[in-house]
Amino acid sequence: MTDHRLEVEDLHSWYGESHILHGASFHVNRGEVVTLLGRNGAGKTTMMRTLMGVVRQRKGKAVLDGTDLLATPPHRVAKLGLGYVPEERGIFSSLTVAENLVLPPIVKPGGMSIEDIHKLFPNLKGRDRTIGTRLSGGEQQMLAIARILRTGADFILLDEPTEGLAPVIVDDIARALGTLRSMGLTIILVEQNTRFATNCADRHYVMDQGRIVDEFSNDALRADISKIDAYLGV
Amino acid sequence: MPDIFGVPMVVLLGQIMLGLINGSFYAVLSLGLAIIFGMLNVINFAHGALYMMGAFVTWILLSTVGINYWTALFVAPMIVGLFGIVIERLALRHLYKVDHLYSLLFTFGMALALEGLFRYIYGSAGKPYPVPEQLAGVFKLGFMILPVYRAWVIVAAVIVCVAVWLVIEKTRLGAWLRAATENPSLVTAFGINVPLMLTLTYGFCVGLAGFAGVLAAPIYQVSPGMGSNLIIVVFAVVVIGGLGSIGGSILTGLSLGVIEGLTKTFYPSASTIVIFVVMAIVLIIRPAGLFGREA
Ligand SMILES: Nc1ncnc2c1ncn2[C@@H]1O[C@H](COP(=O)(O)OP(=O)(O)OP(=O)(O)O)[C@@H](O)[C@H]1O
Ligand SMILES: [Mg+2]
- Does residue B4 surpass a pLDDT of 90? no
CA distance A137 to B53: 50
Closest ligand 1 atom number to CA of residue A47 = 18
Q: 110-129 in A: which are within 8 Å (CB) of B?
A: none
Average pLDDT score over chain B: 93
What is the tens place of the pLDDT at every residue in B95-130? 988 898 999 999 999 999 999 999 999 999 999 999
Q: In the prediction, which pLDDT does B244 show?
A: 66
Chain A residue closest in CA terms to B38: A94
Is A104 in Cβ contact with B179 (below 8 Å)? Answer: no
Is A92 in Cβ contact with B183 (below 8 Å)? Answer: yes
- B71 touches B229 (CB < 8 A): no
Q: In the prediction, which pLDDT does B294 show?
A: 58
How many of the other CB atoms lie within 10 Å of CB of B167? Answer: 15
Q: In the prediction, which pLDDT does B144 show?
A: 79
What is the tens place of the pLDDT at every residue in B251-276? 999 999 999 999 988 898 998 899 99
Kindly list the averaged pLDDT for each block of 10 residues, start to end, along chain A of length 234.
87 97 97 95 97 97 97 97 97 96 96 95 95 96 96 97 93 92 95 89 96 95 86 76
Domain boundaries of chain A, sorted by first residue: 4-232
- Does residue B295 surpass a pLDDT of 60? no
Confirm or reject contact between A51 and chain B (CB < 8 A).
no
Closest ligand 1 atom number to CA of residue A87 = 27
Q: CA angle B112-B113-B116, nearest 5°?
A: 85
Is A102 in Cβ contact with B172 (below 8 Å)? Answer: yes
Q: Which residue's CA is the closest to the ligand 1 atom numbered 7?
A: A15
What is the tens place of the pLDDT at every residue in B188-199? 999 999 999 999
The sign of the torsion formed by the CA atoms of B268, B269, B270, B276 equals: positive
Q: In the prediction, which pLDDT does A232 show?
A: 83
Q: Which of A11, A46, A212 to mutate to test the pocket of ligand 1 (most atoms within 8 A of CB)?
A: A46
Listed in sequence order, the residues at least 6 apart from B58 whose beta carbon sits closer than 8 Å to its beta carbon are B69, B72, B76, B129, B213, B214, B217, B222
Averaged over B215-240, what is the pLDDT? Answer: 93
- A62 touches A7 (CB < 8 A): yes
Task: Check if A44 has its Cβ closer than 6 Å to any atom of ligand 1.
Answer: yes
- B33 touches B111 (CB < 8 A): no
What is the tens place of the pLDDT at every residue in B41-64? 899 999 999 999 999 999 999 999
Strands A186-190 and A33-37: parallel
Q: Tell me the chain A residues in contact with residue B291 when contact means C-beta distances shorter than 8 Å.
A: none
Averaged over B216-223, what is the pLDDT? Answer: 95
AA letter at B192: I
Q: Tell me the chain A residues in contact with residue B178 when contact means C-beta distances shorter than 8 Å.
A: 92, 94-95
Domain boundaries of chain B, sorted by first residue: 16-226
Listed in sequence order, the residues at least 6 apart from A200 whose beta carbon sits closer than 8 Å to its beta carbon are A33, A35, A174, A177, A178, A181, A189, A191
Averaged over B170-176, what is the pLDDT? Answer: 95
Is B194 in Cβ contact with A75 (below 8 Å)? Answer: yes
* Nearest residue to A34 (alpha-carbon basis) of A201, A223, A216, A168: A201
How far is B192 from chain A, CA to nearest CA, in Å?
A: 5
Q: Is B228 exposed, middle or buried (0-12, 13-18, 19+ CB in 10 A)?
A: middle
The secondary structure of chain A in percent helix, strand, coil, rounded to multiples of 5, reads 40, 30, 35
Compute the count of residue pairs across chains A and B with CB atoms less than 8 Å apart: 57
Task: Check if A50 has its Cβ closer than 6 Å to any atom of ligand 1.
Answer: no
Q: In the prediction, which pLDDT does B1 show?
A: 62
Is A78 in Cβ contact with B190 (below 8 Å)? Answer: yes
Task: Check if A81 has its Cβ closer than 6 Å to any atom of ligand 1.
Answer: no
The reported pTM is 0.90
Nearest to B178 among A52, A53, A92 (CB): A92
Distance A41 CA to ligand 1 centre (A): 5
Task: Check if A17 has its Cβ closer than 6 Å to any atom of ligand 1.
Answer: no
Confirm or reject contact between B247 and chain A (CB < 8 A).
no
Q: Which residue's CA is the closest to the ligand 1 atom numbered 19?
A: A41
Q: Tell me the chain B residues in contact with residue A86 when contact means C-beta distances shorter than 8 Å.
A: 186, 189
Q: Tell me the chain A residues in contact with residue B176 when contact means C-beta distances shorter than 8 Å.
A: 103
Q: In the prediction, which pLDDT does A106 show?
A: 97
* Nearest residue to B105 (alpha-carbon basis) of B42, B55, B52: B42
Q: In the prediction, which pLDDT does B245 show?
A: 77
**Percentage of residues in chain B with pLDDT exceeding 90?**
77
Is A84 in Cβ contact with B175 (below 8 Å)? Answer: no
Task: Check if A182 has its Cβ closer than 6 Å to any atom of ligand 1.
Answer: no
> A4-232 domain in CATH 3.40.50.300?
yes
CA distance B212 to B200: 18
- A24 touches A43 (CB < 8 A): yes
Task: Check if A42 has its Cβ closer than 6 Å to any atom of ligand 1.
Answer: yes
Nearest to A90 among B172, B175, B186 (CB): B186
Q: In the prediction, which pLDDT does B42 show?
A: 92
- Does residue B82 surpass a pLDDT of 80? yes
Confirm or reject contact between A75 and chain B (CB < 8 A).
yes
